[in-house]
Chain A
């Protein structure tokens, strides 16, 4: 009997971010146009495991996912034990651009979900020429807090258990059980206070409502895909963003929730592959 290995390679990258040394875990698979993937709050790059294992994606794309500092197999920076982690828009933007430079990615396609979808909107606005195209999953301009975030990090509530329990209903009803629970397991594994620190960006610092209409899709094509069952970033919120940005393209994915690439990859790829195809065709047309 022979073992089977996935075609994913993982490496640790040493990178200075915000003036501090970081050790970051980066995974990739495939060859071709770089496709940089951003995970959701409180999770890690494993959310993109299915994209990296799908030959329809990897035969034309170099799919790259990194775990943000404090997440997955990336470490928090030295000194973390006396700090409160809080993600800001400025840090998140810097992190993505620095990682692109370090990996020498030439105008990648960016795909980001939830907080990754939000920062995708920031990047579409502020750094449009750095990307070939931007795909925002579950991307809204703002989400109001709807529970007391302090419950995510206090000693009498298990942080991993509560984080997964809070997001469990965001998974769509048709998700296969093993993908649903894999997705929730990542939340259960999050470090103390990390999900909460990410939500500082999502619910407070990263509000882009007042500027989102300024995104110019002629400089960078923008695709928005959102799951029908997401009550964090609702389809209505994504549709409102799309309506305010001329040239943006939007689709609501039936039966899917907040973690499309991880909770139900088979269904999600039916929506993603045509988008990647179109981005590829547009690039060929320009090159031709």
Chain B
């Protein structure tokens, strides 16, 4: 499922343009499953699934699978509709160099929301 991120983000011209100064690799943890997502100038170049021995990333976003499933539903309920809502409820942990995350917060919110059902 996470693999779909690459095409969905890269197909959104405006999102890629807003990310043109963003080149990084971040780690996404969905319960036990981890993925390394590499971005070059706003385009996702690879989504690599774990498990990893020594994953290197600028920052990590970690939440239980059930929380991501609510976030990725077509109409997320209150408290699950936004990355900051998950952080507020202390179920999403953002760790590492968060300057990159915060400086591109709109990009990351919109990119991860791409995993909602198409048309949502």
Listed in ascending order, the chain A residues whose CB lies under 8 Å from chain B are: 146-148, 151, 156-158, 161-162, 164-166, 168-170, 173, 228-232, 234-235
**Mask: chain B, 84-120; 1 = CB below 8 Å from A; 0 = not:** 1101110000000011001101100100000000000
Which B residue sits closest to A169, measured CB to CB? Answer: B82
B89 — nearest CB in chain A belongs to which residue?
A: A231
- Decide: A151 near B84, CB < 8 A? Known: A156-B103, A161-B106, A165-B109: no
Distance from B107 Cβ to chain A, minimum over Cβ atoms (Å): 8
User: Is the pair B88, A232 in contact by a Cβ cutoff of 8 Å?
Assistant: yes
User: Could you tell me if B99 and A156 are in contact, using CB atoms closer than 8 angstroms?
Assistant: yes
CA distance A232 to B102 in the complex (A): 18
- In the complex, chain B residues whose CB is within 8 Å of the CB of A158: 103
Within the complex, the shortest CB–CB distance from B113 to chain A, in Å, comes to 10
Contact of A173 among B75, B102, B106, B109 (CB under 8 A): B75
Interface residues of B in 55-71 (CB under 8 A from A): none
What total of A-B pairs shows CB separation below 8 Å? 56
Bound: A203/B119 CA distance, A: 37
- Which residues of chain B are near A230, meaning CB under 8 Å? 78
A147, B103: Cβ atoms closer than 8 Å: no
Where the two chains meet, the residues of B that have a C-beta atom closer than 8 Å to any C-beta of A are 75-76, 78-79, 81-85, 87-89, 98-99, 102-103, 105-106, 109
A151 proximity list for chain B (CB < 8 A): 98-99, 102
12 contacts between A and B (CB under 8 A): A146-B87, A157-B103, A161-B105, A162-B102, A165-B109, A166-B84, A169-B84, A169-B85, A173-B76, A229-B81, A234-B79, A235-B78
- A residues within 8 A CB of B83? 169
Least CB distance, B18 to chain A, in whole angstroms: 9
Residue of A with least CB distance to B94: A147
In whole Å, how far is B100's beta carbon from the nearest beta carbon of chain A? Answer: 10
Which are the 8 A-B pairs with shortest beta-carbon distances?
A: A169-B82, A165-B105, A165-B106, A231-B85, A146-B88, A151-B102, A157-B103, A229-B78
Q: Which residues of B contact A147 (CB under 8 A)?
A: 84, 87
Contact partners of B84 in chain A: CB under 8 A: 146-147, 166, 169-170, 231
